[in-house]
Amino acid sequence: KAGVTQTPRYLIKTRGQQVTLSCSPISGHRSVSWYQQTPGQGLQFLFEYFSETQRNKGNFPGRFSGRQFSNSRSEMNVSTLELGDSALYLCASSLVGQEGNEQFFGPGTRLTVL
């Protein structure tokens, strides 16, 4: 069974630009969560999508948004990029009904904002 895939793996942008990251979950997984990982802040929860609906949202500004498609693939968008948005963005998928145990992470997208 293929794992979680994320594209692109690396991205360099400049301040003020916007970026879209993509995540394909494991087949059959309907929940997709996004995280921002930085050395200083660790893993911070961005949002979770389930059946094309945002189910939960972390404490991030409105510049961070996402969506999920009918095939469970998800995208996240960051508008008006700031230097502080440089981070590793991870997505993770999980099965429906598993209330807290296992998430499967993708390799991440390394975003650098110059």
Q: Is 104 in the site for another protein (CB under 8 A)?
A: yes
Please, are residues 112 and 8 in contact by the beta-carbon 8 Å criterion? no
- Pick out residues in 44-83 that bind another protein (CB under 8 A): 44-45, 48, 55-56, 58
| Contact window for another protein (CB under 8 A) among 11-19, 38-46, 67-75, 79-87 | 38-46
Instruction: Output 81 or 90, the one with its CB closest to another protein.
Output: 90
Contacts of 14 (CB under 8 A, 6+ apart): 81, 113, 114
| Percent of the chain that is helix, strand, coil (3-state, to 5) | 5, 55, 45
Q: Is 36 in the site for another protein (CB under 8 A)?
A: no
Q: Is 42 in the site for another protein (CB under 8 A)?
A: yes
> Integer distance in angstroms from the first to the last C-alpha of the chain?
37
The footprint of another protein (CB under 8 A) covers 33, 35, 42-45, 48, 55-56, 58, 90, 92, 99-108
